[in-house]
Every structure is written in C-alpha cells, then in structure tokens.
C-alpha cells in the first residue's frame, strides 16, 4: 500500500476534525508516546526495530509486534508517480544479517567491514546515482564487522530488496586488530529486475513459498509474504567465482582515502503503477485511496510506461478524482508528519534533514516553493507549521482529505486525554493510499 492510512476527515467530501480537540495536541500525541521518545529512535534497541518491539513474522499476532518482513515504503509502492520530487531518492539498503563461514570461498582469515549502497538505475555511474551506504561497523545500531576464521572462508550479506532500487553495489575493507579500516574494494554488484523493485503480495521466501496473487500466509504459522524479497550476496573472496543470477563479482580497489557515501544521491525518476496494487486493494476491500492533489496521474492510472521513463500519454489533472480498478482515488493534502516517523525524534530528524540547510546530511535545496532554514526546527515548531497548514485548508473550504500515517500511530498517545480519543477497538473507514 501507499502511505495514506488514517484519514482525518470522516469522508472525502469535507475535511473535519473534532472541534473540542486541539489539532496540535492530536498530532503531538500521535508522535510522542510516553516511553518511545528520543531514546527510542530507530536503532536504539538492536534487534527490536528500534522501538522495543518483539520480533515476529506470524501475521496472526496482535498489533505491537515488529515484523521484519513488513515493508513501509510510503509513496513508492502503489500509484504511478510522474513527478517524484525535488528530489525523491531511493531508500538505502538495511542489512538483516552479515555472517561468516569458514568454507565456501577463498576469503582469508580476518575481520572485514562491508558497505552496501543502491541505485535507481544500474546503468548510471555511482558518482551520479548512489544511495547512502549501510556499513557493518556496529555504529548506530548497524551490524558489526564480520570475522572469518579460515583460509577458505566466505561471508554472506542479507537484506530486503529496496523499492525502486535496480542495482546494489557491495564494498569490503579489512579491519586491523586495533579496529582501523583499510582500503576499500568494490567486490560486486547485484542487479534486480523491475518486478523485484516493487512491493508485491507474494514472495519466494515466504514459508512455504507462495506464488499466489495475494498471500495471507498458511496455517498454523502464517508468515507475512508481502513486501520485498530477501536478497543474499555471498563474498567468496574471488572475482572469478561463478555468480548467481543478477550478481557480478568484481575486484576493483577504490581510490586511496575513499569512504562509503553518507549522502543520498540515488534520485528517482517517474514510474508506472505497481501491477500488484489493484489486486491488493480488491483483496482487502479498500474502496478509497488518497492521491497527491498537487500531481497529475496517468490516464488510465495503470498505464504501463516503465520505471525511469518519461510518460507522455493522457493524464488526470492535479486534484482530479478518478477510478483505479475497484477503488476511487481521492485527492488529499500533503502532510509533513512523514510516513516513516514513529516517534517525535524520528519526525524531527527527517524534517530538519529536508528543510534545514545547516542540518547534518541536509537534503534541502531552495526552490520556487521552498526556502531552506538556516537553523534547526524544534518539534513544537514543526507541529505548529503543520497545524497552520491544516487549518488554512479547512478555512478555505477545500474538500480534499487530510490524513496521518499508520506508522505514526505505533505508541499509546500521551495527549490528548483518553476520553477525547476513539476506543482502541474502533475500526476506522478503510481509506488508504
């Protein structure tokens, strides 16, 4: 699914918020659960998803478990996008495992760090199209370095395929006994077909494997089989080993002093609608989805024109409702409470990264509609700006929907008081984007 989950209006016809509940309190409460604040930001508790949640791939478990197979891609996963952003970037890889074996290759005994990046197009140069690297250095909750114990060793890296990442680049460096990293070497690439860059509803790595259009998992231990497929790259220590499909082994030393990239530079280009989107909506009974009211969409919405290809066919105008399979697509207002923010710390970090030019690893660029700040925002300032925008939309009698994301609802809200919120068992209308 795309990122619209909780629509604040009761129906698409007119935005509405309860007049007895301050909007700022609602949004602050959504993002500021009592024990899951700055100290519980993503990665704070290794192995639990960063929020202190218990891992389980059983889809029958109650809400509150962290399912490592669940993928939260936001805007990437469903509708076509003819104008990805200024810029929109491919998410960096997030490794699930890095393990050593004393057999399986010719990798000498020693300790090694690995770095993995991704690209929107494998045909591009890494200098113009490459994401931030995931490095197995044990820092900020990342996996630690790998230690090989035999002269015929190998190391395997496992990660979930990233939406719209068509190619991955893998690097390796030896680590001395004092912990110092040596010179980096590009040891391979892993190209994935377009079908692997989109979240689907079946997966070859579900238990057991499923090829059905919509998979809910078999009894008695159903495993989530939606989301991206797990990818495995095995470093054999040799560029002459026979690679599996999609993998190319290399042995290319990087320039002296090179370090893994820390900035996002894998910019996305237009893409077509995910072919699994309509079957998924129909399967779970979703009849209304939200679309970005500032963008045009292909007509028909499921027109197949490729990924990274300019679309030149007919379109639905920005803000125009349209039918997509069995669902109605309703224009919605954008909101800067982001799809991947579950705590106020995550929200504030992402907001400053996007809108403050002085922030570490800032991605802010002045445009015709955005002027970058030169000082970091506080959480209160973020909420104030968002509330002002929502109020302006309502006062202008704009019928487009407003919403928050399911990810934003991970904790028990601190504000407002429980009497002002719907019961926990309340089933909201099935509006998703």
- The whole-number pLDDT of residue 300 equals 95
Domain that holds residue 186: 95-253
Q: Which of 221, 253, 285 is the last residue of a domain?
A: 253
Identify whether residues 332 and 418 lie together within a single domain.
yes
- Residue 400 pLDDT: 85
Q: What is the pLDDT of residue 1?
A: 35
pLDDT, residue 345, reads 80
d(CA 363, CA 368): 16
Q: Give the model's pLDDT for residue 360.
A: 81
Digit-by-digit pLDDT tens for the chain (433 residues) are 333 333 333 233 333 333 333 444 444 444 433 323 333 333 334 333 345 556 666 656 655 555 555 544 445 568 899 988 766 888 899 898 999 999 999 999 999 999 999 999 888 999 999 999 999 999 877 899 999 998 999 999 998 888 788 899 999 999 999 999 999 999 999 998 654 455 444 344 444 444 444 444 444 444 444 456 678 999 999 999 999 989 999 999 999 999 999 988 999 889 888 877 787 778 777 888 888 888 899 999 999 888 888 899 999 999 999 999 989 998 988 788 877 777 778 888 888 888 998 888 787 888 887 889 999 999 899 989 888 988 888 898 888 888 777 667 664 444 443 333 333 333 333 333 3
Among 253, 281, 307, the domain boundary falls at 253
For residues 10 and 147, membership in a common domain is answered with: no
Same domain, 300 and 385: yes
Q: What is the pLDDT of residue 367?
A: 82
Contact 324, 302 (CB under 8 A): yes
Q: How many folded domains does the chain comprise?
A: 2
Q: What is the pLDDT of residue 234?
A: 96
Are 3 and 130 members of one domain? no
Considering the domain boundaries, does residue 397 fall inside one?
yes
- Is 414 part of a structural domain of the chain? yes
Task: Please check whether residue 261 lies inside any domain of the structure.
Answer: no
397 and 428 both lie in a single domain: yes
Same domain, 161 and 228: yes
Q: What is the pTM of this model?
A: 0.68
Q: Clarify whether residues 60 and 139 are in a common domain.
A: no
321 in any annotated domain: yes
Q: Are residues 132 and 80 in the same domain?
A: no
Residue where one domain finishes, among candidates 253, 279, 295: 253
Task: Determine, yes or no, domain membership for 264.
Answer: no
pLDDT for res 66: 57
Q: What is the pLDDT of residue 34?
A: 30
Residue 21 lies in a domain: yes
Whether residue 262 lies inside any domain: the answer is no
Query: Same structural domain for residues 43 and 135?
Result: no
In this structure, is residue 154 part of a structural domain?
Answer: yes
Q: Looking at the structure, tell me whether residues 72 and 111 fall in a common domain.
A: no
Written in H, E and C, the secondary structure of the chain is CCCCCEECCCCCCCCCCCCCCCHHHHHHHHHCCCCCCHHHCCCCCCCCCCCCCCECCECCCCECEECCCCCCCHHHCCCCECCCCCCCECCCCCEEEEEEECCCCCECCEEEEEEEEEECCCCCCCCCCCCCCEECCCHHHCCCCEEECCCCEEEEEEEECCCCCCEEEEEEEEECCCCCECCCEEEEEEECCHHHCCCECCCCCCCCCCCCCCCCCCCCCCECCCECCEEEEEECCCCCCCCCCCEEEEEEECCCCCCCCCCCCCECCCECCCCCHHHHHHHHCCCEEEEECCCCEECCCCCCCCECCCCCCCEECCCCCEEECCEEEEEECCCCCCCCCCCHHHHHHHHHHHHECCCCCCCCCCCCCCCCECCCCCHHHHHHHHHHHHHHHHHCCCCCECEECHHHHCCCCCCCCHHHCCCCCCCCCCECC
232 lies in the same domain as 362? no
212 in the same domain as 69: no
* Residue 258: predicted pLDDT: 96
| pLDDT given at position 90 | 86
């Amino acid at each position: 699914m795309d990122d619209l989950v909780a629509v604040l209006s009761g129906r698409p016809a007119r935005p509405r918020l309860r007049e007895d509940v301050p909007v700022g309190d609602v949004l602050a409460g959504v993002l500021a659960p009592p024990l899951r604040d700055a100290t519980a930001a993503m990665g704070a508790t290794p192995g639990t998803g960063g929020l202190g949640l218990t891992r389980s791939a059983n889809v029958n478990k109650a809400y509150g478990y962290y399912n490592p197979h669940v993928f939260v891609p936001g805007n990437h996963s469903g509708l076509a996008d003819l104008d990805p952003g200024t810029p929109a970037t491919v998410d960096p890889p997030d490794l699930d495992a890095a393990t050593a074996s004393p057999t399986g290759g010719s990798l000498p005994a020693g300790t090694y760090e690995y770095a993995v990046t991704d690209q929107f197009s494998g045909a591009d140069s890494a200098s113009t199209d490459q994401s931030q690297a995931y490095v197995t250095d044990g820092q900020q909750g990342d996996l630690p370095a790998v230690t090989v114990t035999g002269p015929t060793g190998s190391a395997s890296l496992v990660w979930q395929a990233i939406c719209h990442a068509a190619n991955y680049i893998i690097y390796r460096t030896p680590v001395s006994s004092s912990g110092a990293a040596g010179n980096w070497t590009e040891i391979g690439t892993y190209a994935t077909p377009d079908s692997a860059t989109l979240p689907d509803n079946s997966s070859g790595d579900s238990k057991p494997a499923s090829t059905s259009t919509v998979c809910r998992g078999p009894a008695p231990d159903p495993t989530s089989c939606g989301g991206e497929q797990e990818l495995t790259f095995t470093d054999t220590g040799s560029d002459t080993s026979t690679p599996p499909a999609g993998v190319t082994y290399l042995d290319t030393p990087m320039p002296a002093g090179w370090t893994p990239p820390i900035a996002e530079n894998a910019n996305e280009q237009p893409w077509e609608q995910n072919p699994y989107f309509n079957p998924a909506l129909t399967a779970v009974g979703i009849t209304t989805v939200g679309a970005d009211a500032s963008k045009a969409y292909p007509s028909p919405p499921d027109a197949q024109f490729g990924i990274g290809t300019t679309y030149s066919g007919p379109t639905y105008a920005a803000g125009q409702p349209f039918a997509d399979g069995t669902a109605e697509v309703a224009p919605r207002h954008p909101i800067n409470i982001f799809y991947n923010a579950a705590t106020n710390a995550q929200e504030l970090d992402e907001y400053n990264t996007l809108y403050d030019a002085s922030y570490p690893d800032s991605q802010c660029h002045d445009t015709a509609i955005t002027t970058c700040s030169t000082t970091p925002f506080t959480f209160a300032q973020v909420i104030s700006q968002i509330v002002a925008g929502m109020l302006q939309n309502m006062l202008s009698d704009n019928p487009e929907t407003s919403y928050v994301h399911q990810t934003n609802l991970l904790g028990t809200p601190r504000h407002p008081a429980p009497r002002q919120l719907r019961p926990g068992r309340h089933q909201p209308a099935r509006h998703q984007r």
